[in-house]
Amino acid sequence: MLRIAIVGAGPTGFFLAEKLLGQDTTPLAVDLFERLPTPYGLVRYGVAPDHEKIRNVTRSFDKVAARTGFRFFGNTDVGRHLSLDDLRQCYHQICFTTGAQTDRHMGIPGEDLPGSHAATEFVAWYNGHPDYCDRVFDLSAERVAVVGVGNVAIDVARMLCRTPEELATTDIADHALEALRTSRVREVYLLGRRGPAQAAFTNPEVKELGELAGADVTARPEEVALDPLSAAMLAREDDPSTRKKLDILAGYAGRERSGKPRLLAIRFLVSPVELLARDGRVGVMRLARNRLAEGVDGELKAQPTGETEELPVELVFRSVGYRGIAVPGLPFDEKRGIIPNQSGRVVDILTPERAPLTGFYVSGWIKRGPSGVIGTNKPDAAETAEAMLADAGAGQTLSPTGEDIEPLLRQRQPELVTWSDWVKLAAGETARGKPLGRPRVKHTRIAEMLAAIRSTED
């Protein structure tokens, strides 16, 4: 029986377990390890609370967890409770599905001033991630800049614009609901360094901004007008989705205020070059205006025109992409923030032939970088599963000498969280939400989670 460890219980971990347990040519068992007591990764801690439907994907993860041969080991930090060597002793194959756990920086002066934050931390905070629940974001600010025009930037801008009534029926963390209830934010700027045709956000997400109950959305006609280089590219590539995006944005251009309390302004062709302090915290963002120019790779890049402007803002969220972090003991590609691999097989970048490291695999964002929607990880996991099964068929696996890891793990982490513990915890969260018309009220501290699990024990 092939014993497989998957490290990281986000969507990719479940898609991979599903693929492996769903085949019947190679008998195998899967143990899914997770640092937090809770499963689902970014589906729980990344998806915006007002996008509850996206969380429905957890139903299929729960079906995977019910399969014979599946075990969940939550509250287990691989690297602390278990070493890579411990795993090597007990498993034939080990796959890391640890995602991209940190964020990219803008690299500009003033980036670390009080009031300047990573969007990913704000997201984790409003979603009740235990590592971020004590963060403080000063929502007495009236003007906020969100740097980047990807879907994370849109989530952050939208959450800042939602009314307390809209938020009150979601599973947003209680501390964030309270803070956003008294928010004084009036203007939110979404800042794209390139043009509208290059914006990374997807159409349903940008369309939703035009339908907010408490905020008017606007854009500048001259910034959403198609430039000749993008027009030529669009004519060559015939891309209906980009055309639709441009139509949506054109619809926002020059929109008048309708009297809603907040304004969400989408800007293009501007890059933050410096954050300036006022009274010891962010007060002004200096922006360089850009034009588009063709890069050596044929991609359209932002090029400064030499003009600058100053945008008064008291709060800044950089939303310029996630970044993977290295796993001690495995190679790491610092430039791309991924574990180097070929079709999911971890490869040794120090050898000229990039030889695969027998028994080690990756899938999801730590394999390809932080791109795509949740579903993109399904074919990604299928590719890694195929490599794992082919290698197992060819006898290319680790040679574990140890037995079941659970006794050792229980010694090292007496507060291990199993799948049945999680089911109890989740049922308690749902029950807390029910009288309030909310899908769940999340526990946001690990001690609280463990106490809630213990309270259900006979």
Interaction of residue 195 with ligand NAP, rule CB under 6 A: no
Cβ(96)–Cβ(12) below 8 Å: no
Binding to ligand NAP in span 415-434, by CB under 6 A: none
* Complex with ligand NAP: residue 194 or 345, whichever CB lies closer: 194
Burial class (CB in 10 A: 0-12, 13-18, 19+), 274: middle
Q: Which region among 162-170, 197-205, 334-342, 394-402 touches ligand NAP (by CB under 6 A)?
A: 197-205
- The DSSP symbol for 327 reads P
Q: Which residues of 73-92 are buried (b: 16+ CB within 10 A; e: fewer)?
A: bbbbebeebbebebbbbbbb
- Taking residues 248 to 287 in sequence order and writing x for each that binds ligand NAP by CB under 6 A, - otherwise, the string is -----------------------x----------------
Distance separating alpha carbons of residues 50 and 45, to the nearest angstrom: 13
3-state secondary structure 95-132: EECCCCCEECCCCCCCCCCCCEEEHHHHHHHHCCCCCC
| Interface pick for ligand NAP out of 32, 124, 292, 320 (rule CB under 6 A) | 320
* Complex with ligand NAP: residue 149 or 425, whichever CB lies closer: 149
* Complex with ligand NAP: residue 194 or 438, whichever CB lies closer: 194
Q: How far is the CB of 147 from ligand NAP (least distance, A)?
A: 5
Interaction of residue 341 with ligand NAP, rule CB under 6 A: no
Distance separating alpha carbons of residues 409 and 430, to the nearest angstrom: 29
Distance separating alpha carbons of residues 302 and 414, to the nearest angstrom: 53
Q: How far is the CB of 24 from ligand NAP (least distance, A)?
A: 33
Binding to ligand NAP in span 355-414, by CB under 6 A: 370-373
Interaction of residue 303 with ligand NAP, rule CB under 6 A: no
Interaction of residue 106 with ligand NAP, rule CB under 6 A: yes
* Nearest Cα residue to 87 out of 73, 108, 101: 73
Interaction of residue 152 with ligand NAP, rule CB under 6 A: yes
| Interface pick for ligand NAP out of 6, 43, 149, 405 (rule CB under 6 A) | 149
Interaction of residue 193 with ligand NAP, rule CB under 6 A: yes
Binding to ligand NAP in span 117-136, by CB under 6 A: none
| Interface pick for ligand NAP out of 37, 39, 74, 321 (rule CB under 6 A) | 321
The CA angle 36-86-333, to the nearest 5 degrees, is 70
* Complex with ligand NAP: residue 26 or 303, whichever CB lies closer: 303
Distance separating alpha carbons of residues 93 and 248, to the nearest angstrom: 47
As a residue count, the chain comes to 458
| Beta pairing class for 341-342 and 345-347 | antiparallel
Binding to ligand NAP in span 50-69, by CB under 6 A: none
Interaction of residue 442 with ligand NAP, rule CB under 6 A: no
Site residues, ligand NAP (CB under 6 A)? 106, 147-153, 155, 192-194, 198, 200, 205, 271, 319-322, 370-373
